Amino acid sequence: MPVLVRPENMARITTPELARAYIEEQIADVRAQVGGNKVLLALSGGVDSSVVAALLIKAIGSQLTCVHVNHGLLRKGEPEQVIEVFRNQMNANLVYVDAVDRFLDKLAGVSDPETKRKIIGNEFIEVFAEEARKLSDVKFLAQGTIWPDILESEKGIKAHHNAGGLPEDLKFELVEPVRILFKDEVRMVGKELGLPDNMVYRQPFPGPGLGVRVPGAITRDRLEAVRESDAILREEFAKNGLEGKVWQYFTIVPDFKSTGIRDGKRTFEWAVVIRAVNTRDAMTATVEPIPFELMQHLTDRITHEVAGVNRVLYDYTPKPSATIEWE
Ligand code: XMP
């Protein structure tokens, strides 16, 4: 049986050698646990599920089926990268589900943040369950549960994402090969498994994705504006040495328009808000002092390259009084 609790004397995985040893141990454990049976994994493309996928591909190859649900709230290039890395490079059994319209139709007109989150969570389970039912003889469900998830759910801080949400007819035994690892260890293991750096060192990204960065009722034009401006922000932070230095950065497109001028004509368009924060544990956060020249360059690019945007703002508010995300 796999180890379910982190042994007190377990050394922190800080070197490639320790990561390799952990991988070898897990490969043996997973093979012993699942035998010749099939395993299913919801692969979001986030750090934890990506590392679990890479590890299981190594351990059991085609016995694993990964399901990637594109709910339309992912960052630019993410679904494409999941397909490229896992299907094309690692030869995984990958089911790609384009559920964009399904999610956005359900979310149309819904402005309450909690209701939005619930719709996204429930719809995700429904889509995943539909895919699971299409496969026969699956006995195991793999999950990217990590040690802080266990600690937080024990303390009642959050219910960690687990199989609990799946309908009654889908009963699986869990495979959780990174369950006893801290986040930095998961990254170390992922790097050793050959995952690309931009996947392994990915910033925290909320489950409801870009949905929380389009406050109020999600519209396709604001969602596109968030996705495109986020891509520009990430590209410019990478070019200017801020990637890996700033803890989290992203854009928000609030649900108000303001007046502008373009080519001598009056416009009435959205504003993009830039947020860049530093923190240790996300309980409090300070704001990154972005150089003014970079702010000007970002403003220039966003107002010229992102459709329907005529204004760029910077959020100077620490946490507290604000939270990191806008909803
Ligand atoms: P707040 O906005 O509460 O965010 O200051 C703190 C950190 O948590 C991330 N966040 C989430 N992560 N699911 C997640 O996995 C969520 O629903 C969620 N909401 C916020 C946020 O990006 C920040 O890093």
Q: Is the beta carbon of 311 within 6 A of some atom in ligand 1?
A: no
What is the residue with the minimal CA distance to atom 18 of ligand 1?
206
| Residue 170 shares a structural domain with residue 258 | no
Tell me if 167 is assigned to some domain.
yes
| Residue 164 shares a structural domain with residue 25 | yes
Q: Are 204 and 324 in contact (CB under 8 A)?
A: no
Tell me if 6 is assigned to some domain.
no
* Ligand 1 center–CA 326 separation, angstroms: 10
Phi first, then psi: give them for residue 325, nearest 5 degrees: -80, 165
- Ligand 1 atom with the shortest distance to the CA of 319: 5
**Which residues of the chain fall below pLDDT 70?**
157-164
| Residue 220 shares a structural domain with residue 278 | yes
- Ligand 1 atom with the shortest distance to the CA of 285: 5
Residue 305 has a CB neighbour count (10 Å cut-off) of 12
- Ligand 1 atom with the shortest distance to the CA of 204: 24
d(CA 128, CA 105): 18
Q: Say what the pLDDT of residue 1 is.
A: 72
d(CA 180, CA 5): 6
pLDDT for 303-325, tens place per residue? 999 999 999 999 999 999 999 99
- Residues ≥6 apart with Cβ < 8 Å to 37: 63, 137, 138, 139, 140
| Residue 140 shares a structural domain with residue 181 | yes
**Integer CA distances (angstroms), 294 to 171, 276, 283, 301, in order:** 52, 13, 28, 10
Q: Is the beta carbon of 325 within 6 A of some atom in ligand 1?
A: yes
What is the residue with the minimal CA distance to atom 14 of ligand 1?
206
Q: Could you tell me the residue range of the domain that residue 62 belongs to?
A: 16-200
Nearest to 220 by CA among 270, 180, 259: 270
Q: Is the beta carbon of 319 within 6 A of some atom in ligand 1?
A: yes
What is the residue with the minimal CA distance to atom 15 of ligand 1?
206
- Residues ≥6 apart with Cβ < 8 Å to 116: 107, 110, 208, 211, 212, 218, 327
| Residue 50 shares a structural domain with residue 152 | yes
pLDDT for 231-255, tens place per residue? 999 999 999 999 999 999 999 999 9
* Ligand 1 center–CA 205 separation, angstroms: 7
**Residue 249 belongs to a domain with what CATH number?**
3.30.300.10
Give the domain-ending residue among 180, 200, 220: 200
Phi first, then psi: give them for residue 213, nearest 5 degrees: -105, 10
Strands (E), 171-256: 173-175, 248-252
Which strand ranges, in their side-by-side order, compose the sheet holding 38-42? 93-98, 64-70, 38-42, 138-142, 173-175
Q: Say what the pLDDT of residue 183 is.
A: 96
Q: Is the beta carbon of 204 within 6 A of some atom in ligand 1?
A: yes
**Residue 81 belongs to a domain with what CATH number?**
3.40.50.620
The number of folded domains in the chain is 2
- What DSSP element (H or E) covers 294? helix 292-305
Q: Is the beta carbon of 324 within 6 A of some atom in ligand 1?
A: yes
- Ligand 1 atom with the shortest distance to the CA of 208: 17
* Ligand 1 center–CA 149 separation, angstroms: 14
Q: Say what the pLDDT of residue 152 is.
A: 87
| Residue 152 shares a structural domain with residue 268 | no
Q: Is the beta carbon of 315 within 6 A of some atom in ligand 1?
A: no
Q: Are 88 and 226 in contact (CB under 8 A)?
A: no
| Residue 136 shares a structural domain with residue 44 | yes
- Ligand 1 atom with the shortest distance to the CA of 247: 24
Our mutation pick for probing the ligand 1 site, out of 44, 149, 324, 326, counting the most ligand atoms within 8 A of Cβ, is 324
Q: Are 185 and 177 in contact (CB under 8 A)?
A: no
Nearest to 47 by CA among 144, 118, 148: 144
| Residue 193 shares a structural domain with residue 299 | no
Q: Is the beta carbon of 121 within 6 A of some atom in ligand 1?
A: no
* Ligand 1 center–CA 304 separation, angstroms: 30
Residue 53 has a CB neighbour count (10 Å cut-off) of 29
pTM above 0.75, yes or no: yes
Q: Say what the pLDDT of residue 13 is.
A: 98
